[in-house]
Structures are given as structure tokens and as C-alpha cells.
Amino acid sequence: MTAKPQQFASDNYAGICPEAWAATAAANDGSARAYGDDIWTQRAADAFRTLFETKCEVFFAFNGTAANSLALAALCQSYHSVICSSSAHVETDECGAPEFFSNGSKLLVAQTPDGKLNPEAIRALACGRSDIHFPKPRVVTITQPTETGQVYSIDEIRAISATCRELGLKLHMDGARFAHACARLGCTPADITWRAGVDVLCFGGTKNGMAAGEAIIFFDTSLATDFDYRCKQAGQLASKMRFLSAPWIGLLESGAWLGNARHANDCAARLATTIAGLPGVRLAFPVEANSVFLSAPEAVLDGLRERGWLFYTFIGGSARFMFAWDSDIAVVRALGQDIVELCAPAAGMPPAPQSSYG
């Protein structure tokens, strides 16, 4: 087994992109006011207002778990509930942080085949109970793109927000890979957020080329009241804030936020094309962003492991490959080639039955 020059087990295996790095270095210029009262933080927040073409309220947190949990907590009282997909990161990967920071707001999960919410699923959960004994539905959270790489169209988001409005629910978007959704849809960031009825967005920087950091963007600015206190109390107010905010200047002002995402999506599309139609393997989910979920016989997955590839199989047993701003097309090709070889009958692989999960 030889070590690979690059791995695709996660998009947070990648380092810091040059634009974010340069902007951090530029901010590393002598002293500056602390706790966000500095010119870099101001400029980063303004860059978001320019990007989103609106006067939004912008806050910076260290990671996505904090951003999501604090945003949801800001929208809820402890007796409220949050409607999400059963595969939502807030449900499966945040260790109860949304419930913790909201002092008990319950997550109501919808089982949907593709991990996407839709008006019917929301309505079923929101209207299932209306008595005093059940936590009152208050927020819908959607992940764009979903944890398995599906992208909500503008129309799908509009339909969800119309349902939210009708039922008196706020709409939150977990955009850990928001840039990848914009790259896929070719729309403006405004089109899939406030123009489509999203109230609050968590915009991921980490998976877009930064060392750390997510932005919490309130399009309904009335919801941002005292959010700064909430961030501070949760340990999310950086004293040297400029180093959390400046990388955003690099990403947003250069356009790297979109270029990075396009490249990552392109790598996923390339791998998907390479393995299309191979015997015994299939894509467990449509490839619409920067991930490929490969359903393959255990022998093929073992073969990939033996050849040194790292990947997770925590979602339905399929092998997940995630691409980032720095994914090397030659290494993507090498991975594809290994899958092709491992699937070839000539390599001694009997055709295995298709797995049925996914």
C-alpha cells in the first residue's frame, strides 16, 4: 500500500486556499482593535452585503456546529421545535448542540428519500400536533446542498418558504457548502436565500478554502437582536476577530469562493463520469455538488482501501469521496482508474449483486 499524494475522504482535509491565506497575512499588520471592532471585520461584513445585494446582519463563528446551533437558538424559545431532515447535520452530527444552545428546542425529523425537505413533509410535521403537550414548530432548517450532495433549486426553496410563511415558520439554511450550490445552479447568492424567502443562512468558509470559520447572515435583521451576546456566551466571539473575518475578504472580493466551489464540483463530476456504467457499482446519490457516494461490492471497497484510498462509509454504507478547492485532477483520475480496474472482470472480480441501500 502506497500513501496517496492526496485523499478525498473529506473536503476538510484540504488546506487553506491562497486567497484566504493572503488576506490573513494582509490583516497581520501591526495591531488592530479586538472583538470585531476592526477594519477587516467591517470590510468582510460589507463584502457579504455586496455579495448578497442587501443590508444583512453578519456574524462570524469558528465552526458550523456553533453557527447552526446559535442561529437556531436565536429563532427559538426552549418550548419550540425545529423541522429538519433525518439526515440533517444538525440532527446527526452536532452532538445535540442545537438542543443544548436553545435550552431544549426539539428537532422534528422528516424521513425523506433524498434528504431534502419539501412542503408536504414540512406540513405533515408542523400540523401533526397543535396541542399544548407538543413543542410548537417554529423553524424549518434545510441544508444546501444536502449532506449527500443534492442541491435545492430556486423553485424548491421558494415552495418551502411559501409553506413556512403560511404556517408561521422561520426558514434557516445550513450552507456549509453554500458556495457549491451557487456554483451548481449558476444563480446569485441572493436568488437562493432572501429572494427565495430564507431568513438566516450559515455560510460555510471551512469547506470553501478557509482554515476555520462560518458566517451567520441574518436577512431578516430583526432576528439578529442580541445575537452578538449569544455568540460571546457560547465562546464564539474571537478576540482577534480580524483573523476569523479577513479570510472572507480574500474569498469574497477575489471571487475565489465561487471558483473554489466550481473546481470541487467539477472534480466530483469527473469521477462520476469515469465510473458511470461500471459493472457492480452505482452512484448512491445524484452528483450535484462536490461529493460522490459510491455503492460498490465490499471487495471493490476493500480493494480501494488496499490501494491506499481513505474514505468514509457512514452514510448507508456507500463510499464517500469529497472534493475541495485543491483537489488535483490527476489524483482524481487515479482514483477513477483504480475503481475501473477493481471493477473489471479481468481482474478476477465476479460481478457482485447491486447493493440496495441508498
Q: How far is the CB of 321 from ligand PLP (least distance, A)?
A: 14
Contact status: 143 vs ligand PLP (CB under 6 A): yes
Contact status: 149 vs ligand PLP (CB under 6 A): no
Contact status: 260 vs ligand PLP (CB under 6 A): no
# binding residues, ligand PLP (CB under 6 A):
11
Contact status: 43 vs ligand PLP (CB under 6 A): no
Contact status: 153 vs ligand PLP (CB under 6 A): no
Contact status: 91 vs ligand PLP (CB under 6 A): no
> From the list 206, 265, 290, 327, which residue makes contact with ligand PLP (rule: CB under 6 A)?
206
Q: Taking a C-beta distance cutoff of 8 angstroms, is the pair 64, 204 a contact?
A: yes
Sheet holding 291-295, edge to edge: 282-283, 291-295, 319-322
Q: How far is the CB of 117 from ligand PLP (least distance, A)?
A: 14
Q: Which amino acid is at 274?
A: T
In this structure, the chain runs to a length of 358
- Alpha-carbon separation of residue 85 from 10, 88, 116, 150 (angstroms): 21, 5, 7, 13
What number of other Cβ atoms are within 10 A of residue 307's Cβ?
A: 16
Contact status: 291 vs ligand PLP (CB under 6 A): no
> From the list 65, 236, 290, 327, which residue makes contact with ligand PLP (rule: CB under 6 A)?
65
**For strand 214-218 and strand 57-61, is the pairing parallel, antiparallel, or unpaired?**
antiparallel
**For strand 170-175 and strand 214-218, is the pairing parallel, antiparallel, or unpaired?**
unpaired
User: Which listed range, 14-22, 27-35, 61-69, 124-132, lies at the site for ligand PLP (CB under 6 A)?
Assistant: 61-69
* Alpha carbons 249 and 181: distance in angstroms, whole number: 20
Nearer to ligand PLP, 281 or 324 (CB): 324
User: What are the grid coordinates assigned to 24, written together?
Assistant: 490573513
| Burial class of 163 by CB neighbour count within 10 A (0 to 12, 13 to 18, 19+) | buried
> From the list 147, 199, 288, 326, which residue makes contact with ligand PLP (rule: CB under 6 A)?
147
Contact status: 297 vs ligand PLP (CB under 6 A): no
Contact status: 189 vs ligand PLP (CB under 6 A): no
User: Which listed range, 59-67, 71-79, 131-139, 292-300, lies at the site for ligand PLP (CB under 6 A)?
Assistant: 59-67
* Alpha carbons 13 and 184: distance in angstroms, whole number: 22
Contact status: 102 vs ligand PLP (CB under 6 A): no
Q: Taking a C-beta distance cutoff of 8 angstroms, is the pair 146, 174 a contact?
A: no
> From the list 80, 89, 106, 180, which residue makes contact with ligand PLP (rule: CB under 6 A)?
89
| Burial class of 251 by CB neighbour count within 10 A (0 to 12, 13 to 18, 19+) | buried
Binding site for ligand PLP (CB under 6 A): 63-65, 68, 89, 143, 147, 174, 176, 206-207
